[in-house]
Amino acid sequence: MRKTTLLWASVCLLLSGAFRPLDAAPEREDEEDADRTGRPGFCLLEVEVGPCRANIKRYFYNHRSGCCEEFLYGGCWGNLNNFETEADCQRSWRPGFCFLEAKMGRCHLYFKRYFYNPRSGRCEEFVYGGCKGNLNNFETEADCQRSCGDPGASVLLSLHCVLRTDLWDAFVFPESDRNESGYFNLPSWCLTGADRGQCTANVTRFYFDSDAGTCRTFSYSGCGGNENNFVSERACLKACKKG
């Protein structure tokens, strides 16, 4: 029985990709649909207790209820939909662009805009030059709060994992810049920086540099990291380079 449990857990681990190196974009039709909406890849993972027998209180995001819920974790393996606190769970489903720095851009116009500052946990004002910005850029403070604000804020929509496509339409960029950058079509993880991870290996991988609009190499440690991690430049471009 123990061997059967471990075998099944191994299969689940491979399917979930909890510790696998992150490589090419998903090929299956349902996962491609998820990419187009900007949904994080681990959003739809079911709760995974793991094969060990501890009873550790953890939280997972339930995509059916739209809430972070408690479960008992066995203590080993499992998948990425596993958080120590409810607050960690809620923060993790905030779209990746909410963690981008405010970016004035290369142009020299003067537009009052708002960006989400993850350090302060608030939407703050900044000056946008009119082109070459990023998605952490909102016309109003209310738009910023709806997309990136803290749970419980009066104007916050229930974002979490299921990033609604209408939110992408709230980002206001000049039409020429929107077409050139293609940012509206990017999955959220393409907007995160390279993350080396926690291990000690040195594996050459590729990540998408959203500022430059191209894929670059970085040294991956072999475990951890984020989803902006590809085994080849071709896979990186396929996932993140639009147009």
- Per-residue pLDDT tens digits for 193-235: 898 888 888 889 999 888 778 899 999 888 878 888 888 898 8
Q: What is the CATH classification number for the domain harbouring 164?
A: 4.10.410.10
pLDDT digits (tens, 9 = 90+) for 19-61: 333 333 333 333 333 333 334 556 668 899 998 989 999 998 8
Cβ-Cβ contacts under 8 Å for 154 (sequence gap 6 or more): none
Q: Is residue 100 part of a domain?
A: yes
What is the phi/psi pair of residue 165, to 5°? -65, -25
Q: Is residue 127 part of a domain?
A: yes
Q: Is residue 50 part of a domain?
A: no
What pLDDT, on the 0 to 100 scale, is given for residue 18?
40
Angle at 40 (CA atoms; ends 35, 45), nearest 5 degrees: 105
Q: Give the number of domains in the chain.
A: 1
DSSP string, 158-220: --TTS--HHHHTT----HHHHHHH-GGGS-GGGGSPP---SS---EEEEEEETTTTEEEEEEE
Q: Is residue 101 part of a domain?
A: yes
Q: Is residue 155 part of a domain?
A: yes
Q: Is residue 104 part of a domain?
A: yes
- Which range marks the domain in which residue 117 is found? 96-188
pTM of the model: 0.37
Q: Is residue 203 part of a domain?
A: no
Q: Is residue 184 part of a domain?
A: yes
